[in-house]
Amino acid sequence: MLLRHILAAADDSEEGRAAILAAARLGQRSGARVTVVTVVHATPAEAVAARVLQALLDTVEVQLVQLKGPRPTVELAVEFGLAGIEIPRFAEISGVDVIVVGRKHRTSIQRLLIGDTADAVARRSRVPCLFVQAGAHEYGRLLVALDGTERGLSVLPVAVDLARDAHARLRVITVEPAYDNERDTPRLPTGRSQRLAEAIDSLRNRSGASAEAWDTVLGRSGEALVVHRGRVVDEILREVHASATDVLVLGCHRGGPAGMIEAGSISRRLMHDCPCSVLTVPL
């Protein structure tokens, strides 16, 4: 993922303003240009577009004054329709490399009844999506969650690119199952985790990133992988808290029904429960 064009999806909320600032700071670090788009659920009209565009310009200016140093190039756009549909569509047409969206905390009932833009964007987007909360604009430490599959490993190069462009440190976690009959036995890495560690080290050697970019403190023998055992969501969240993670990076399958966050999708549960920003990579 070479960052050249960042899309920030904005609305009149604290989270929407956070998306603007997060995208601008990422653009500032990477040198990418930023487009801020807002979606109006109304009939297209020039008068409406002009009014919304002026309000968006005022909002963007307020956020950009918080930046220290040179500003990135910022463009504005207004689309009409449903935000969860129009944002991914605009990103695909405009050749965007990553979408930044504000993430609102809602209960499962609220998501089912009124919908959730973040979830809708993640299910439809063909490019990685960075979901941020109000006040979350840091990129210092990235945690990549991998499931050990060949397909899941495709998440790692995206995370490496983001760490390089954002000048961040990177660590990787995988979670193995824990069984009751293994409580008193030594917890040696499984073949799956060993193969995953080898693949990570191979990519680390090829990536050209500096050694300081890889957080290997918790790994063994310099490996850039930490292995937990237990429930996947619980263990990943535990590592997020323990490592003071700024961005959790994980793979996300496109499609699926809206609102069914608790229907077994680990990525969608983490996207809503994680206390830090989340970057979803479409699989």
- DSSP state letter for 180: G
| Residues ≥6 apart with Cβ < 8 Å to 178 | 229, 230
- DSSP state letter for 274: -
Q: How far is Cα 251 from Cα 156, in angstroms, rounded to an integer? A: 9
Q: How far is Cα 283 from Cα 262, in angstroms, rounded to an integer? A: 20
Q: How far is Cα 198 from Cα 205, in angstroms, rounded to an integer? A: 11
What separation in angstroms does the CA of 266 have from each of 38, 98, 146, 245, 280?
29, 21, 11, 18, 12
pLDDT of residue 191: 74
Q: Which domains does the chain have, with CATH numbers?
A: 5-132 (3.40.50.620), 141-282 (3.40.50.620)
Closest CA to 131 of 146, 120, 147: 120
CA 71 to chain centre: 22
pLDDT of residue 114: 38
| Residues ≥6 apart with Cβ < 8 Å to 142 | 159, 162, 163, 166, 168, 169, 170, 171, 245, 246, 247, 248, 249, 279
pLDDT of residue 60: 95
- Are 102 and 258 spatial neighbours (Cβ–Cβ below 8 Å)? no
Q: How far is Cα 96 from Cα 1, in angstroms, rounded to an integer? A: 10
pLDDT of residue 256: 63
What separation in angstroms does the CA of 255 have from each of 32, 114, 135, 272?
28, 18, 29, 17
Residue 135 sits at the vertex; the CA angle it makes with 238 and 109, to the nearest 5 degrees, is: 65
pLDDT digit string (tens) for the chain, length 283 residues? 789 999 999 988 899 999 999 999 999 999 999 999 999 987 787 888 899 999 999 999 999 999 988 999 999 999 999 999 999 999 999 999 999 999 876 555 444 433 478 888 988 999 999 999 887 678 889 999 998 888 888 999 999 888 888 888 889 999 988 766 655 555 556 777 888 888 887 777 776 655 566 775 444 444 678 888 889 999 999 999 998 999 999 998 887 655 544 445 788 888 888 999 999 999 8
